[in-house]
Structure 1
Amino acid sequence: MNGLMTCLLVLALNLSPEELLKKVDDVIVPKDDYSFTMRFRVQEEGAGEREFEIKVYVKGEKRLIRFTYPPQVKGMAILSLGHDVMYVYMPGYKKVRRIASHVRNQTFLGTDFTYEDISIPTYGNDYNPIDAGEEGDFYFLTLKPKEEGKKDYGKLRLFVDKETFVVRKIEYYDRNEKLIKVETRGNFKRAKNSWIVGEVKMENMINGRVQMGKTSESEVEPLPDDLFTTSALLRGESK
């Protein structure tokens, strides 16, 4: 019965799960280089509210994320080069270290974002599409890891804009397929041939913690290749 329902949904969608995933990944990897600044507010019951700010540089599958606020983390940077290659720079130690595979699923700065969440270039590298269909104003796409045990997530469910194919919501499930957190994205800005997210919200479904990010400025222009190097991390360079 489930197989029949999946076939009917795919026919209604007129796209196979594989085709929908390719369209999603094509949008994630931008046609243009761009950068943006985003400030996050973290709300946790009994712990008040705190903020941090990042400057993000994007070139193809490459991501450079620099922390600019608060002072305690200013100068910290994460470099993702795609294909499971990630580095972190800690200014206090003045060292760059590669982020091992088992560490990429760890959260940072007391948030529910993992290193992988904020740097993933494409889903097709690590996930297989299981089914796809329509739900309200969105297409949905269910993904499962290609290699069991390699990912902390047992399943992802993406909700995709029908016109632009940008991901508007992600449901994260653990290995027992229990929903653990939900990320929503909105207020996208069209910048030449790319889409820049304007707002992000992450909700922890276990402890109720909420993180909200808002883009304050963005710019589309060519970025130099040497910005996305470990040498640039050490020098603390930005464009």
Structure 2
Amino acid sequence: MLKKVDVVLNAAKDQDLKMKIVLIDKNGKEKDREAVMLQKGSEKRMIKFLSPADQKGIAFLDLPNDIMYLYLPAFKKVRRIAAHIKNQKFAGTDMTYDDLGTINYSEEYDPVFVEKNEQHFVLELTPKQGIKKDYSKLKIWVLKNNFFLEKMEFFDKGGNLWKKGEWREIEKNNNYWVAREIEFHDIKDDHRTKVILLEVKFDTGLKDEFFTPRYLKR
């Protein structure tokens, strides 16, 4: 079942997304960002902020073999993200560098079936032996009709609920399933990040050069 989830999430040869990112603090105050995300296959992903001005150009790159890079325009330097800081949040969002990277759940987690209801299969995932994660486990709700994720709970090393994720307005676009809105809620900090899909293109033939440290500076 977990392999089916991976197939659905990574079905396109490549993806070109434009999105609005809304940061919401515990008082309800909002800050808006705009970003693009490019993905090729299931192992290459690049995210770059377009606005506001003080965030423009900040970019993240995820490559095979757990290699990640960050570009901060203020320093005009691309640096590799060390393993011990992959649990840090990216640019004020509720997503860590590790969260932002591509993932094949069936390769990184061992699933245990919990239950099924009218709409979902519910699974608990624990990291496979030798796989380092900041979460002791994930609990996921998989839609029965299309094997797309609708809900996820993230648990810390102590087994306490840390974050929640929800995928909303799930629809088919050019034969691929997408969520028009995703929200992550950090329970501990009472902070939310909402990702709203503005534009999406699939299978446009993205070049490999888009997924290089050098390209992050452009």
Q: CA deviation at 1:92?
A: 1.6
Deviations 1:98-122 (A, max 9, x none): 1111211111222221111122321
Alignment of 1:1-239 (within 5 A): 20-46=1-27, 48-61=29-42, 62-147=44-129, 150-220=132-202, 221-234=204-217, 236=218
Q: CA deviation at 1:180?
A: 1.2
Q: Secondary structure at the match of 1:124?
A: helix
Deviations 1:139-168 (A, max 9, x none): 112111124793210010111111211111
Answer yes or no: is the 8 Å Cα contact 1:28–1:121 preserved in 2.
Answer: no
Mapped partners of 2:100, 2:67: distance in 1? 13
Answer yes or no: is the 8 Å Cα contact 2:78–2:216 preserved in 1.
Answer: yes
After the TM superposition, which of the residue ranges 75-84 and 185-194 deviates more from structure 2? 185-194
Q: Secondary structure at the match of 1:42?
A: strand
Answer yes or no: is the 8 Å Cα contact 1:57–1:63 preserved in 2.
Answer: yes
Q: Secondary structure at the match of 2:6?
A: helix
Q: In the superposition, relative to structure 1, how do residues 203 and 136 fare at CA in structure 2: closer, same or farther (>3 Å)?
A: farther
Q: In the superposition, relative to structure 1, how do residues 192 and 47 fare at CA in structure 2: closer, same or farther (>3 Å)?
A: closer
Q: CA deviation at 1:212?
A: 1.5
Mapped partners of 1:223, 1:86: distance in 2? 19
After the TM superposition, which of the residue ranges 203-212 and 135-144 deviates more from structure 2? 203-212
- Length-normalised TM-score, structure 1: 0.83
Q: CA deviation at 1:47?
A: 7.3
Q: Secondary structure at the match of 1:23?
A: helix
After the TM superposition, which of the residue ranges 42-51 and 165-174 deviates more from structure 2? 42-51
Mapped partners of 2:25, 2:12: distance in 1? 37
Mapped partners of 1:31, 1:48: distance in 2? 36
Answer yes or no: is the 8 Å Cα contact 2:87–2:134 preserved in 1.
Answer: yes
**In proportion to residue count, which structure has more strand?**
2
Query: 1:13 maps to what in 2?
Result: none
Answer yes or no: is the 8 Å Cα contact 2:108–2:131 preserved in 1.
Answer: no
List structure 1 segments (4+ residues) > 3 angstroms apart after TM superposition.
none
Q: In the superposition, relative to structure 1, how do residues 31 and 46 fare at CA in structure 2: closer, same or farther (>3 Å)?
A: closer
Q: CA deviation at 1:174?
A: 0.7
Identity value in percent: 34
CA RMSD in angstroms comes to 1.9
Answer yes or no: is the 8 Å Cα contact 1:64–1:228 preserved in 2.
Answer: yes
Structure 2: 5+ residue stretches without partners: none
The amino acid that maps onto 1:107 is: K
Answer yes or no: is the 8 Å Cα contact 1:29–1:121 preserved in 2.
Answer: no
Please tell me whether Structure 1 or Structure 2 has the larger radius of gyration of its CA atoms.
Answer: 1
Q: Secondary structure at the match of 1:187?
A: strand
